[in-house]
Amino acid sequence: MAVINWFPGHMTKALRQMEKELKNVDLLLYCLDSRAPISCLNPKLTKLASNKKIIYILTKADMVDVKDLDKYKKQFLAENASFLALNSVQSGSGKKIFEIANQLLKEKLDAKNEKGIKYEPKAMVVGVPNVGKSTLINNLCGVSKTITGNRPGVTRGKQWVVTKEGLVLLDTPGTLWPSFDNEKTARNLAYIGSIKDEVLDLTELAYAFIKDIVPKYSQNLESRYGIKIEENDETLDILDKICEARNCYLKKQELDYDRCARMIIDDFRKNRLGKIVLD
């Protein structure tokens, strides 16, 4: 498939704003989509925040298997990183974040208390587009404080909100990085919806998606579409079978790959293909 490279101008501006705001916050809530957590790590942002305390939050944890979450938990803990996996849509699921934040900032908070200063710690919520930052903030606040949407680019400017627990949150626009050194990372971000569909060839994307997941998740495709994937099937053979099974035809009984591709990508993003991890 064609090389994916998407970095609109507003992201350059967003990264600059975030760099300025970093000096005003005590920690980062770094949101990663549980379906592709490693691909969601922005090297540009990681470099900017190298001296900040970070809580890595795997969002949409209900979309993946527990054993996959355990694997990433071990990986992050091995790096001595603070880690939490949760379903932000579930009410109250983010409360553990306040406990972790207080532990990380205990020394600073104790010092402020000794001086009689009532200090409200500040956290910047960061992540790639469509990773669930605004949903997480609404969860932590207990009410809808930010604009959310199931597409990249909904949050465009900074938004400060205050939680009942006293943690002040800064919602930021989702940001990618200027270029992808790893094409698999780019594909994964496209699969989960972090790159706008308007700049992608969805038919090529669905073809690549099938090719990427078949070695591990062929049964997911078989179960969803009622097909049988043979050992010698090429990717196009599988796409043909899905088209036929879902009656994706053009007027002259030609297979409608475009409609089928949109369906496959939509099924994955809405968890209809079962629990799939891309990393």
Residue 177: what pLDDT? 74
Is the per-residue pLDDT at 105 higher than 80? Answer: yes
Q: pLDDT by residue (tens digit) across 169-222?
A: 998 888 887 667 788 999 999 999 999 898 899 999 999 999 999 999 999 999
Q: Which residue has the higher pLDDT, 78 or 181?
A: 78
Provide the CB-side half-sphere exposure for 136 (13 A, CA).
Answer: 32
pTM: 0.89
Is the per-residue pLDDT at 3 higher than 90? Answer: no
Angle at 88 between CA 82 and CA 156, to 5 degrees: 90
Average pLDDT over residues 14-36: 91
Average pLDDT over residues 71-80: 87
Token pair in block for residue 127: 């992540």
Q: Which helix (H) or strand (E) holds 212?
A: helix 202-225
The neighbour count for residue 60, using CB atoms within 10 Å, is 21
- Confidence category of residue 260, pLDDT binned at 50, 70, 90: very high
- Confidence category of residue 227, pLDDT binned at 50, 70, 90: very high
Residue 124: what pLDDT? 94
- Confidence category of residue 130, pLDDT binned at 50, 70, 90: very high
Is the per-residue pLDDT at 251 higher than 80? Answer: yes
Closest CA to 255 of 243, 246, 263, 264: 243
Torsion angles phi and psi, residue 53, rounded to 5: -75, 140
Average pLDDT over residues 27-49: 90
Residue 170: what pLDDT? 92
Q: Which residue has the higher pLDDT, 52 or 242?
A: 242
- Confidence category of residue 150, pLDDT binned at 50, 70, 90: very low
Q: pLDDT by residue (tens digit) across 79-97?
A: 888 999 998 788 777 889 9
Centroid of chain to Cα 53: 20
Is the per-residue pLDDT at 8 higher than 70? Answer: no
